[in-house]
Amino acid sequence: MIEITNLNFHYPDGRSALERINFAINSGEKVALVGANGAGKSTLLLHLNGILQGEGVVRINGYEVNKNNLSKIRSLVGMVFQNPDDQLFSLTVGEDVAFGPIYQGFETHIVEEKVKTALEEVQLAGFDDRHPFHLSGGEKKRASIATVLSMSPEYLVLDEPTAGLDPKSRRELVALLKNLPQTLIIATHDLQMALELSSRVILLNHGKLVADGSSTEILCDEQLLKQNNLI
């Protein structure tokens, strides 16, 4: 379970990015986080594995997210960043995707199996030896998703996973995510995906949580969506 209690966050320049955020997500839920540019979605996600720490409490399976628990938290929460260049740092795609399972201590042949499966899942079979910088934008996005899938974390946090994907890649990614047993938290502007994939939507506006409810209810509320610059 993820529990966020009274979370406030200011960037060092003093800008308030999150104000009094409260919600809980149960294991197995698939939740879409929506909101206009600058609403605070990425900032909120970065609190789930301790990259950012604000005032208030974030708990994952009862463990408070803080410096002392970071390795435990990061084995539970896999994060796909909005910008793939923040995720891919090795000389080959294969090494990037292997990094997580190696860190988790799996034997070589199991690591290889996990890398193969994760690359197949994002339609990048055979890309093992490619240099991450020499991929297209959509391929980079899919490679960064594979780096997290290979670790099978209990919570999968994805920031704009469909941004820049072509229609077929997008469709296949949505189908993949839909069938994963893990808890998903996805920040997205892709409201169609939110509707297809998640049963619950959390809506942010200027760092505040303005709605939290069923996807059909929130995503069919034209007035609410207009007020929050989502349509």
Ligand X SMILES: Nc1ncnc2c1ncn2[C@@H]1O[C@H](COP(=O)(O)OP(=O)(O)OP(=O)(O)O)[C@@H](O)[C@H]1O
- The answer to whether residue 209 forms part of the interface with ligand X (CB under 6 A) is no
- Please identify, using beta-carbon distances, which residue of 39 and 88 lies nearer to ligand X: 39
- Please identify, using beta-carbon distances, which residue of 121 and 190 lies nearer to Mg ion: 190
Binding mask 75-114 toward Mg ion (x if CB under 5 A, else -) reads -------x--------------------------------
Site for ligand X in 57-116 (CB under 6 A): 82
Rounded distance between C-alpha atoms, residue 8 and residue 6, angstroms? 6
Q: Contact 104/148 with Cβ under 8 angstroms?
A: no
50 binds, among ligand X, Mg ion, none (CB under 5 to 8 A by kind): none
- The answer to whether residue 17 forms part of the interface with ligand X (CB under 6 A) is yes
- The answer to whether residue 183 forms part of the interface with ligand X (CB under 6 A) is no
Rounded distance between C-alpha atoms, residue 88 and residue 99, angstroms? 10
Rounded distance between C-alpha atoms, residue 161 and residue 177, angstroms? 10
Task: Kindly determine how many residues on this chain lie close enough to bind Mg ion according to the rule CB under 5 A.
Answer: 3
Rounded distance between C-alpha atoms, residue 106 and residue 98, angstroms? 10
For residue 177, give both structure tokens.
């995510």
C-alpha pair distances (Å), 213 with each of 103, 155, 164 = 37, 20, 28
By CB under 6 A, name the binding residues for ligand X. Answer: 11, 13, 15, 17, 35, 37-43, 82
